[in-house]
Amino acid sequence: MTVLSVDGLSKTFDMHVLGDTQVVGLDDVSFDVHDGEFLAVVGESGSGKSSLLKCLYRTYDPTAGEVVYHGPDGDVDLATCPDRTVIDLRGDTIGYTSQFLDEIPRVPAVDVVARPLVEQGTDTQKARGRARELLAALSVPEQLWQAYPATFSGGERQRVNLAQALAPKPELLLLDEPTSALDPETRQAAIDLLSTYLGPETTVIGVFHNTDVVEAVADRIIVLDEGRLQRVVPKDSDNEEVMIG
């Protein structure tokens, strides 16, 4: 079953500060995403991977095209629906995390991770319990749980970030290089967690740099090049050259 249909998605930036130049981010990208699938997006730096996720999450306003989400309440075109519909869908329906943690300073790590759950209505103590489990699974040292992430190393912050994104188990999870700063050991822990914690009801679209992550988790791979969809590679294909991150 298709959960997301992307059709002719394009994004052009009008850079007024650069003398009204136009920068093309995405050009006529179309693909489908299946229910419960783990779709990996790969491509060179600047190929439009992050732009694609941001267009899906509406952090970027698509210039043209459709992003139809086939939700339980009917179809919604994420490219054109009102801002308020997007706000409603964000959270427990569509989750997103970038590679950088973006949080209020001076909030302890455990509360950063628990926040989306609390906002969904989970009891604070229960949400903190879940947060601790996730932080433990991602091997964040326990003495850091009550510390402020602003003081953490890049890898530690990324783990907190990933834990926060996973916590509410959204139906569609958009991950933008969530493991880029992790050492191989922690990256493996993250990969394990993605498959064990999320379960089959969560559909994931993830941008990854690392071949081993893609190999470990992806059901299909789409390859972007200069904002265009170059090809879609099914899982277990022998095509090694797609891993160009």
To other proteins, the closest distance from the beta carbon of 8 in angstroms equals 19
48 or 194: CB nearest other proteins: 48
* Partner residues linked to 90 by β-bridges: 94
2-15 vs 64-71, strand pairing mode: antiparallel
- Within positions 148 to 187, which residues make up the interface with other proteins, using CB under 8 A? none
119 or 226: CB nearest other proteins: 119
- Within positions 102 to 141, which residues make up the interface with other proteins, using CB under 8 A? 102, 104-107, 118-119
83 binds other proteins (CB under 8 A): yes
**Contact yes or no for 87/75 (Cβ under 8 A):** no
Out of 7, 13, 212, 219, name the contact with other proteins by CB under 8 A.
13
81 binds other proteins (CB under 8 A): no
Distance from C-alpha of 1 to C-alpha of 175, rounded to nearest angstrom: 21
Task: Give the residue among 70, 71, 59, 51 at the shortest CA–CA distance from 9.
Answer: 51
Out of 81, 86, 136, 232, name the contact with other proteins by CB under 8 A.
86
Distance from C-alpha of 156 to C-alpha of 190, rounded to nearest angstrom: 12
Phi, psi angle pair for 4, to nearest 5°:
-140, 130
84 secondary structure, DSSP code: H
Q: Which stretch binds other proteins (CB under 8 A): 28-36, 84-92, 138-146, 187-195?
A: 84-92
Q: Given the rule CB under 8 A, which residues bind other proteins?
A: 13-17, 54, 57-61, 83-84, 86-87, 102, 104-107, 118-119
